[in-house]
Structure 1
Amino acid sequence: MTHTTIAPAATAPEELVRVDAANIVLEENIRDHPEDALVEDWFVDSVRQHGVLQAVLGYRNDLGQVVVRDGQLRVLAARLVGCTVPVLIGERPLDVVHRVTEQYVTNERRTGLTDHQKVAAFRQLELGGLSVTAIAKQTSTSKEQVKASLTVAKSVDASTALAGGQISFDTALVLAEFDGDDAAIAELSQIAEGDFHDLEYAAEQIRQERVNEAKRIEVVADFQAAGVRVATDEDSYESVHRLTNAEPTDTMRPQLDADEHKTCPGHAVTVVVYHGDDVRVSPVCCTPEAHRPRWASFGSTPAQAGPMTDEQKAERKTRRIQAVIAPLTLWMVLIDMSGRFSERMLPDVVTKLWDLREVGR
């Protein structure tokens, strides 16, 4: 390695020289313990790979030594890797006031790249032919961060919002995941204006809905291939367990047998999927008028003929307890899953409570 020898002669201002980092004297600085800032390996690795790219500012003392006023972290990193440092030699400071003022301004007023600028830079490097690994190495950035940045860069909605300063990088990354899904982007963009936890919850809900829908389509296709009709929201149907073939005057009104009902022209099934693998198939009838309702009005049971037995009383008590405990347990689980209650949870709560509407009847 070639080192530049600094002669102890007077030097004109604004002279650019390259000096061995080991020969540089660091001036007293308001940033005490600068070595603590070198704990992050990325800074030292960057200097090891690229060298010191930006000149530090300094002057010569009475002994002719180069004293650095601004750029001590770059000098310390250069010492660790054993390289030279470009130094812009200027006039010696007049007094302590000038030194402290200059050091404060140069340290306090520096502004790093914005998230959008980093994202745009990584995208330019990718378009220039660099792989994720190469970009990470050249910029001393983790591959995970590079991948995330490129994901945001390729989403028009996410990158535009990030450039406008409307959202954080984490929020932009969430939006980028749903790029191309206008409905999801619209919903998430509105939520992004509030709490990030609500955004995470909404995004996870959409992810789960996608998984559920994919599984539902798969199950529906299997039923249709087997010649079984799958009822949709456009059909008028009733659950088999709400129907009976008993006469209106019959006291015993058993529900339709699901297997026997398969011969009914209105036989069909509904398919609902929870959590991706919890598939619930329910037999329904699309011609409920061909049968009779089990009860005079849905939601109520026939009046008890005569006094209830102890067994019936115990069963009724159990149903009533379940009717109270089940919804409360569900509510507590939903709150515990998120760590806090959110308006976003209300649809889930209402849906689950509706699924439990038969409990206690």
Structure 2
Amino acid sequence: MSPEQARGAQVDKGTDIWSLGVVLYEMVTGHTPFIGDTPREVMTSILEKEPPPLTSYSKQSPAELQEIISKALRKGRTERYQSASEILQALKNLRHNLELKDELERSTTAPLWLRWTRSPAALVLVLLVAALALAVPFYRHRNLTTSLPPDKSIAVLPFADLSEAKDQEYFCDGISEEILDGLARVDGLRVVGRTSSFSFKGKNANVSEVGKKLNVASVLEGTLRREGNRVRITAELVNTRNGFHLWSETYERELQGVFALQDEITRSIVEALKVKLAVSLPAHEQRNTEAYELYLQGLFFSNKSSEADLRRALDFFKSALEKDPTFSRAWTGIAKVWYFLADVYVKPLEAYPASREAALKAIA
């Protein structure tokens, strides 16, 4: 809960920055920044107190990292970073400075104040940059206003499972999320995050209603039918203001062709919305089919909240890595699951190191 939420004020992107600051603080220290024995005491702490410095828990935390996290947690939202991209850049700059200092220490006799670069602080920065790199597209494109939605805005709804056995929910959700992730990386396109888009799952809401609630001009919806290794996907891009179809297509592919199909759908949407790409979309990496299917199942369970589901997600991600040890996104999934397990199900001092280790492997 941010200070403005505690006061009952309207939330905005500044609230997102606060939440991100809380996450960063917890990742570095293994503790929540604002504590109290009762909800009222926690609220008072949020409104009136500053969190303990990072050095209270990690003596070698650099002062520059303290400044970055403190700015994200300022009481006044205008005093915080104005976007997650700004935090990412600040962390990248700090990581670069750490690397330069480390290089200097190896090549010369450096003073003692430089030697903290050999501490876990440098590794923590790598983890933070990795985590923010994944979070930026969603924080950057999130918009909570109720004004007329911008033309270049979209929500990706979870695809409906038309398979006869109705056992492909994980596959439908995973494909939808992968397309959403691809679109979120397109400059100039505002993409609603997964939580908001997937809140309409199974509700049969019309696109006009979705457009109003999510403040988007277009919605991508679709269906998926799978029979053995054959997949049939129908995707439709609809204007939320008038209900007209902007683009639609039906695809039939062998399972291994689904990887490239996700990119094809993403490019078609970009063309239909007439978004000018700052850079070309990268080609989708080649993946082991079995590993990718296991990854999608892990992704499905990682978005649930029970300990049993989260541990199932871990098992699926690990199985994916057994099939393809180079599958970095499976390591990202493991890092995310360990973070979700922290506090509620697993002690932070156990979960956060496991999350950090997986994140470092994801970007290795």
TM-score over 0.5 for the pair: no
Q: TM-score, normalised by structure 2?
A: 0.23
- TM-score of the superposed pair, with normalisation by structure 1: 0.23
Higher relative contact order (CA 8 A, sep 6+): 2
Structure ID, larger Rg: 1
Q: Which has the higher helix share?
A: 2
